[in-house]
Amino acid sequence: MTTEKTLILIKPDGVKRRLTGRILQRFEDKGMKVVAAKMLTLSKDQAEKHYSVHKGKPFFAGLVEYICSGPIFAFVFEGKDAISVSRKLCGATDGSKAEPGTIRGDFSAGIEKNIIHASDAQESFDHECPIFFEKNEIHEFVYGDEALIL
């Protein structure tokens, strides 16, 4: 197991449904450390850069429009195997196929409005994180109980 960072976005539907605190709690309960957080509304340019891997696909414009439709919360979490652990917490991308107990399994019924985004690999994190955070916005510190968790 390695300590790594991952980007998590609570999408407009999650924010509008007042799920931010409940979702954040799940990551903290799992032992993830919040090292950066902010609320923002994405510009079209930011959204297109974030979803650039899907450019040219029929659903690209809808993704961009949706993520820009309201405020999001962006987090950087740090922890042991943070990327794979976070993906498991989120559940399958299509909420109708996500397991109960996962974020999407509990709060999403489809693929379009699926509550949350989580980096799927280190390369994705490296591409995505600078869209949302400057290096000086990511903090290095130690929680009092960190030795018990990490």
Question: Active-site residue numbers?
Answer: 117
**Residue 136 burial (CB < 10 Å; 0-12/13-18/19+)?**
exposed
Q: What CA–CA distance (Å, rounded) separates 31 from 149?
A: 6
1: enclosing H helix or E strand: none
Residues facing 5 on adjacent strands: 78
Full DSSP string of 2-63: -EEEEEEEE-HHHHHTT-HHHHHHHHHHTT-EEEEEEEE---HHHHHHHTGGGTTSTTHHHH
